[in-house]
Amino acid sequence: MNFDYDLFVIGGGSGGVRAARIAASEYGARVGLAEEYRMGGTCVIRGCVPKKLMVFASNFPAEVAQAQAYGWDAQIGSFDWTAFKTRLEGELARLEGIYRSNLQKAGVTIHDCRATLCGAHDVRLADGQTVSAKHILIATGGRPVVPEKWQGMGAMTSNEVFQMEALPKSLLIVGGGYIASEFACIFNGLGVKTTQFYRGAQILRGFDEEARGHISQEMCDNGVDLRLGTDILEMETRDGQTWVKSTTGHDTTYDAVMFATGRRPNSDGLGLDALGLELGPGGAIPVDRYSQTAIPSIYAVGDVTDRANLTPVAIREGHAFADTVFGGKPHYFDHSLIPTAIFTQPEFGTVGLSEEDARDQGPVDIYCAAFRPMRTAFIGSDQRVMMKLVVCAKTDKVLGCHIVADHSGELIQLAAVAIGMGATKADFDRTLAVHPTISEELVTMRTATRSYGE
């Protein structure tokens, strides 16, 4: 059978673009790609990139305060959101142009419209065309959702936060995951009176408990009004603001409310039901380790599969798909060791097993240190950093590393290399310390803080 394309990709985010480029440029496949909004997906347009730029912006007041304490006649004025937003929009447009240009250079045919499936090998485009492809890759990502009870009441999500015309004076963020916690720190740093509700006992569920508690305390010390065990009971609009009553009995009016309580895969309306493909929880597309669905010609990568919703993961899944299907080099991305950074203030870098997960698997030794770093201790700050290694007591292999400190995202990348290679605690101990740094603690912790036996 003759097809219009060897591969048709639905979605122009990180995973879809990587798969399309590799298939076309390295393996000579005829590739088409459809994107209904802007090239770059969540990460570039409304996620990692604009968020990290906001993190940078929010750090400056604390840095100027430190400069003053060090003796500098440093001053900082008010934050110009409009100027920042204008520059941000220009940067996102530049990055989108690079994504588009790279696809075109690779020989990918771009369709700037929505695409849906109308067969195992057929795609219907919103411009009226129907095209066929030997293989179809769904890479439509995910989206934030507002709980149904509070929809239509003007609350924001992480999608809308970058389009605000002005910074609110007061903001309520609902949620306790990394998105909620990151934005609580960002807006607090930008001078917004920030409150965070989380119904659970501690933020950042699923991560190392000791690190979670450390970050929570530092956030509170930095000025975030973090209220654990708290949720919205009532909410209504009053004179252009939002009145909220909490489950703990407090009621307050905020200039804006943002929900960061979860995301859903963008699988709605793709035509999968008509093809008999049963979706997983929340609309996730079930795939095997090679990203193939139950329909042999259809694959899916990235957040729409709800495996590990991180940009580098989507990129690796897309690359592995192209290598496997078009390069004759079958392999898959191993999701068992994923380093990541949470850009709270302070940052949290983590890779491997948490203390809790590790001790459930066998005997482990925990090496942990929390201390005041030289930079801020010098000016009398009580700010602390945390360094932690989780070590298998039987093999001495380092199973996890957790760092809570400024720039820990940069540090954890290097630790991930060592742990990925199977480094032992003895390997860390043999490594010479770089002094004076906070990271030297990773190679100077000689005595286990605590141990768990079988």
DSSP string, 331-345: ----TT---EEE-SS
Average confidence (pLDDT) over 119-143: 97
Q: How much is the pTM?
A: 0.95
Collapsing DSSP to helix, strand or coil, 122 comes out as strand
CATH, domain range 5-144+264-326: 3.50.50.60
Distance CA 106, CA 298 (A): 22
Report yes or no: 29 and 6 within 8 Å, Cβ to Cβ.
yes
Average confidence (pLDDT) over 428-432: 97
N- to C-terminal Cα distance for the chain?
59
Distance CA 133, CA 426 (A): 53
Q: Using the predicted structure, report yes or no on whether residue 76 has a pLDDT greater than 70.
A: yes
Helix ranges (H only) for 79-168 are: 81-106
Report the phi/psi class of residue 230: left, alpha or beta, with left for phi > 0 and alpha for psi in -120 to 50.
Answer: beta
How much is the pLDDT for 1? 75
Collapsing DSSP to helix, strand or coil, 82 comes out as helix
Report yes or no: 428 and 396 within 8 Å, Cβ to Cβ.
no
Tokens of 352: 């491997």
Nearest to 315 by CA among 7, 101, 41, 35: 41
- 346-452 sits in which CATH class? alpha beta
The answer to whether domain 5-144+264-326 and domain 346-452 are alike in fold is no
How much is the pLDDT for 82? 96
Model confidence at 370, pLDDT cuts 50, 70, 90, reads very high
Cβ burial, residue 101 (10 Å; 0-12/13-18/19+):
exposed
Average confidence (pLDDT) over 139-150: 95
The fold of 148-261 is FAD/NAD(P)-binding domain (3.50.50)
Tokens of 360: 């459930």
Interval 309-351: pLDDT, tens:
999 999 999 999 999 999 999 999 999 999 999 999 999 999 9
Q: Using the predicted structure, report yes or no on whether residue 206 has a pLDDT greater than 90.
A: yes
Average confidence (pLDDT) over 46-66: 96
Domain boundaries, given as residue ranges, for the chain: 5-144+264-326, 148-261, 346-452
Pairing of strands 398-404, 385-392: antiparallel
Report yes or no: 167 and 79 within 8 Å, Cβ to Cβ.
yes
Distance CA 259, CA 2 (A): 48
Interval 6-34: pLDDT, tens:
999 999 999 999 999 999 999 999 999 99
Model confidence at 208, pLDDT cuts 50, 70, 90, reads very high
Give the residue numbers marked as catalytic: 435
Model confidence at 454, pLDDT cuts 50, 70, 90, reads low
Average pLDDT of the chain, as a whole number? 96
**% of the chain surpassing 90 pLDDT:** 98
**% of the chain surpassing 70 pLDDT:** 100
Collapsing DSSP to helix, strand or coil, 115 comes out as strand
> How far is the CA of 42 from the CAs of 266, 268, 309, 337, 440, in angstroms?
11, 17, 11, 23, 36
Angle between helices 209-221 and 178-189 (to 10 degrees): 20
